[in-house]
C-alpha cells in the first residue's frame, strides 16, 4: 500500500539537531504538477520569444528587401520611360526622313502611351506595367528597324538609279550637231541624228557619263571604234568615232572614268565623239541629261 505521507529531514551543517517535516502525498503531487506546468509554460514563453524575434528579424529583412526591389523597380520604370521618349524622337526623325524621301508611313506605326507612374501599393501591378512597357518598346524597336531597312533599301535604289542615269557630256568640247533631224554631211539628205556630236582634239579623254558595265567594245559600221555601256534601269550610252579604247567588255566603270580617246574613225568628217543615250532601246535627247 503506497505511503500517504512523506517525511522531509533537514540536518543543518555542523549541528546534530534534525528537523522533520511531514508532507502529504497529494501536496507533493500538486507541487510536482505545478512545477511541470510552470516549466512547460516557461519553455513555451521562451520558444514564443525566440520565434517572435526570428519572425521580427525575417520581417525586417523582407521589408528591406522589398524596399530595395521597389527602388530597383522605380529605376527600371524611369529608364524605360527615358527609352520610350527616345523611341518617340526616333519615330519623329523617321517620319521626317520619310516625308523628305516622299515615302509612306510604315504599317502599324504609332507610339502607344503605356503606363504612367508606377504604383507603390501593388508590386504585381508594377511588374505587369513594366512588362507592358517592355513589350511596347520591343514593338517600337522592331518597327524602327523595319522602317530603317525599308528606307535604306529605297535610298539605295534611288542612289543606284541616280548613279545609273547619264549626266553631262563625255568630253569637254563644242557641240557640232544636235539630236534630231539634220542634213547628212555626206549626201545632204535629211536624216534623224540619234545623238550629239561633240568636237575635241584627237586623244582627248572620253569619260563615262554614268555607272555601268561595258557591254561592247568594237568597230561598228558608221560609228567607227565604239564603246557601249549598260547602266541598268533601261539606260545605255554609246560613244563613237574613238581613236582608241581604255576599257574592255565586262568591265565595271564609274561616272567620270576614262573609257576611250577622241578620234575620227568610222563615218566622220573630223575629230569628235558621237554620243547617244538609249532608254529601253529608244534613242533620247542627251541634252535633257546635261544637268
pLDDT digits (tens, 9 = 90+) for 224-237: 999 999 999 999 99
Contacts of residue 81, defined as CB under 8 A and 6 or more positions apart, other chains included, come to 115, 133
Query: When comparing pLDDT for 61 and 274, which is higher?
Result: 274
Q: How confident is residue 217, by pLDDT bands cut at 50, 70 and 90?
A: very high
pLDDT digits (tens, 9 = 90+) for 81-135: 777 777 777 777 777 777 766 677 665 554 444 444 444 455 567 777 777 777 7
Q: What share of the chain is helix, strand, coil (3-state, %, to 5)?
A: 40, 25, 30
Q: Which CATH superfamily is domain 174-289 in?
A: Glucose Permease (Domain IIA) (2.70.70.10)
pLDDT of 257: 96
* Entry pTM: 0.56
pLDDT of 120: 44
In the numeric block, the cell 541629261 is attached to: 289
Amino acid at each position: 500500500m503506497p505511503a500517504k505521507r512523506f517525511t522531509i529531514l533537514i540536518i543543518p551543517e555542523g549541528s546534530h539537531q534534525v528537523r522533520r517535516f511531514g508532507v502529504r502525498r497529494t501536496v507533493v503531487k500538486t507541487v510536482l504538477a505545478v512545477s511541470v506546468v510552470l516549466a512547460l509554460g516557461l519553455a513555451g514563453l521562451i520558444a514564443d520569444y525566440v520565434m517572435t524575434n526570428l519572425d521580427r528579424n525575417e520581417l525586417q529583412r523582407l521589408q528591406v528587401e522589398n524596399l530595395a526591389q521597389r527602388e530597383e523597380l522605380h529605376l527600371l520604370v524611369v529608364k524605360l520611360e527615358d527609352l520610350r521618349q527616345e523611341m518617340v524622337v526616333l519615330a519623329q526623325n523617321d517620319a521626317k526622313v520619310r516625308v523628305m524621301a516622299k515615302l509612306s508611313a510604315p504599317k502599324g506605326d504609332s507610339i502607344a502611351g503605356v503606363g504612367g507612374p508606377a504604383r507603390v501599393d501593388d508590386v504585381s501591378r508594377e511588374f505587369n506595367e513594366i512588362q507592358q512597357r517592355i513589350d511596347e518598346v520591343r514593338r517600337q524597336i522592331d518597327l524602327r528597324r523595319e522602317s530603317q531597312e525599308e528606307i535604306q533599301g529605297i535610298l539605295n535604289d534611288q542612289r543606284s538609279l541616280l548613279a545609273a542615269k547619264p549626266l553631262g557630256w563625255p568630253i569637254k568640247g563644242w557641240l557640232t550637231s544636235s539630236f534630231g533631224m539634220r542634213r547628212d554631211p555626206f549626201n545632204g539628205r535629211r536624216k534623224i541624228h540619234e545623238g550629239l556630236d561633240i568636237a575635241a582634239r584627237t586623244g582627248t579623254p572620253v569619260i563615262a557619263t554614268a555607272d555601268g558595265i561595258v557591254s561592247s567594245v568594237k568597230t561598228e559600221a558608221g560609228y567607227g571604234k565604239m564603246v557601249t555601256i549598260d547602266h541598268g534601269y533601261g539606260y545605255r550610252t554609246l560613244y563613237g568615232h574613238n581613236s582608241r579604247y581604255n576599257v574592255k567588255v565586262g568591265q565595271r566603270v564609274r561616272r567620270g572614268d576614262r573609257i576611250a580617246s577622241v578620234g575620227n574613225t568610222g563615218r566622220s568628217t573630223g575629230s569628235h565623239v558621237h554620243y547617244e543615250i538609249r532608254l529601253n532601246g529608244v534613242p533620247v535627247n542627251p541634252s535633257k541629261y546635261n544637268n
